[in-house]
Amino acid sequence: MCVRLRLVGVGDVSKRILLGRKLRSSQLGETLLSKRIALPVFASDALSSVAYAPDEVFIMLSLAGASAYVWSWKIAVAVALVMAAVIASYRQTVHAYPSGGGDYEVATVNLGRTAGMTVASALLVDYVLTVAVSISSGAQYAAGAIPALDGHEAVFASALVLLLMAMNLRGIRESGTFFAVPTYAFMVAILGMCGYGLLRLAAGDLPDVESADLHITPDPDVGSSDSLTTFALMFLLARAFSSGCAALTGVEAISNGVPAFRKPKSRNAATTLLLLAMIAITMMISVIVLARQMGIRYVDPHDFERLSRDGEPVRAGFDQHPVISQIARAVFHDFTPGFYLVVTVTGIILVLAANTAFNGFPVLGSILAKDGFAPRALGSRGDRLAYSNGIVFLAVMAIILILVFDAQTTRLIQLYIVGVFVSFNLSQLGMIRHWSRHLKDEQDPVVRRRMMRSRVINTIGLTFTAVVLVIVLVTKFLAGAWITILAMVFFFAIMRAIRGHYDNVQLELAAEDEDKVMPTRVHAIVLVSKLHKPTLRALAFAKATRPNVLEAVYVSTSPAETNRLLEEWDQRRIDVPLKVLHSPYRELVRPIVEYATEIKQANPRGVVAVYIPEYVVGRWWEQLLHNQTALRLKGRLLFTPGVMVTSVPYQLRSSQIARERELREDYRVRPGDLRRGEVDPRGERRDGIR
């Protein structure tokens, strides 16, 4: 009963090509980020919301007609105030909890395990939605520019998710460097467009956007802004405000990614948060103000029947361009490259915004795995020192969501921001508890004043985020927020079940005195398929263990082959008895498992030791030429109490070639080895192998 093992296969070669060479654990410091790279890595999600948050504000206000757009700049200011309060609060968090646990750690330490699990479930859902919304929005931009993609947005979006997954599997520093250029280009393009537009506004020659001549008929279920009651108008403004708060998603990612910063980590993270606040607030307010001044008319893509031009409904197949696209086309009417720059980098940043989640989700998953709330595989670093399993899991979940909702941003946006504001609230409450607890023991007046100031900032942040959460739940619950809440409950239940499993396993594995008692009898079985070198080596090894009983076992499926084996066994005068198990249905696994079980039942205090000869092959294609019987047998025997399984390998010549090739690769001098002291100036490794 033999099977092959391998050392280097096609999978290893493919990983090397796609992901690059492996990195040692000691090289983790080389992957840390400067503020210049950390800003595009962790802030791209919040910055990219400028591309769709203003659209959602105008869509909500359009329900009462274009006259309701007069409230747009006031809503922008309200969203900016909330963002400023939240970011100021998170600046306190990164100093108090720099380990990277972010909201989860704050809630767990200060509010208890249940609050921490609630925050974790909210963040997990939000990260998946971040990828789905950002990629779907980017796919919609691409479909507007490339007619061939029209109707295939979901497939294109899924391909983009896979591309981002591959980039992040290569490591956080490499992906950050790759994403830095388009992110900074987006900042320059949007700020440049807004600055030029505001200059033209001040000069009095600001042009109108392409939709300025359209008329919006108020939604019959809402009515016009002039006829709305005070309550109805407040509810409408609350809906628009809650949609605009999508601009706040992603600001928590920096608090989760503090370990990825260079030292001083907390200070660099806080500075990055401040830069994010200034840039994002400036861009969002500028876009909304310009759009209002340029006569924007923007409705839900499913409500085009409410649009008309000169009293006539818009034609079938009307193409409504995004708000930023309309502003750029009008502002850069005489400078086409400027328009294409803005549209191109906006589409790219929407795709790259998902990178924030690809950096935050794996870190959170690793922390949950360490605490026993997630599979331990999420806590393992891959070849490039990234949390590879978390990256792959996030990509799969996002692709499922994209395909289910057909990459429609308007549908996905309704699921958005509920989770992130749940985590905002619990995090701010936890920080207030944190400062209150430390104030009881702190006597230094200077430190106390700093703590009290921080507590006031977190209290203001909690007040703002609590109001927003109530508004979001009231205005978006029936529109799809209930799905997000259901998903959070699902993740919460899964984490609770995983922790329960790990706790039960730990209890079962706890060592006791009776576990040291030796078995009364060892019945050893050596499996035989042919009488060759692997079999003889397994017999010799089994003899060396000195069991009470030793026998060879052969499963007979062909009388002729069985007779040949018995004759050869006698000719070689092997002093181990050979037992033949007849299998009329040509099964190999079942007879051995049943035989081992019978032996164990006959002697409950003894053990059955099964030795399986294996030969090792070194080339990937050689695997395809050998069966997997022994592997299946191992899997079955593992579930049989009192049965121990031992593999006895025999290395073929091809395995030695593979081993030598692997050794040469391991000891190859790579860039940076001399600087790290792993090789001497002659190019020879410190262990003497060249």
Q: How far apart are CA 67 and CA 70, in angstroms?
A: 6
Of the candidates 598, 561, 601, 603, the residue with the CA atom closest to the CA atom of residue 580: 561
CB contact at 8 A, 203 and 52 = no
Q: How far apart are CA 87 and CA 92, in angstroms?
A: 9
CB contact at 8 A, 424 and 458 = no
**624-643 residue pLDDT tens:** 676 677 778 888 888 888 89
Place of tokens 């109805």: 232
CB within 8 Å of 4: residues ≥ 6 apart: 614, 615, 616, 617, 622, 623, 626
Q: How far apart are CA 600 and CA 477, in angstroms?
A: 59
Which domains does the chain possess? 32-420+478-503 (1.20.1740.10), 518-666 (3.40.50)
The pLDDT of residue 616 is 76
The pLDDT of residue 328 is 92
**398-447 residue pLDDT tens:** 999 888 888 777 667 667 678 778 888 998 899 999 999 989 888 888 98
Place of tokens 């500028």: 286
The pLDDT of residue 252 is 75
The pLDDT of residue 28 is 43
- pLDDT less than 50: residues of the chain: 3-18, 23-30, 687-690
Within 10 angstroms of residue 285's Cβ, the number of other Cβ atoms is 18
Of the candidates 174, 55, 139, 170, the residue with the CA atom closest to the CA atom of residue 399: 139
Q: How far apart are CA 74 and CA 76, in angstroms?
A: 5
Provide DSSP, 305-361: GGEEETTEEPPTT-----HHHHHHHHHTTT-HHHHHHHHHHHHHHHHHTHHHHHHHH
Of the candidates 70, 68, 58, 64, the residue with the CA atom closest to the CA atom of residue 224: 64
The pLDDT of residue 11 is 45
Please tell me whether the overall predicted TM-score, pTM, comes out greater than 0.85 for this model: no
CB contact at 8 A, 90 and 255 = yes
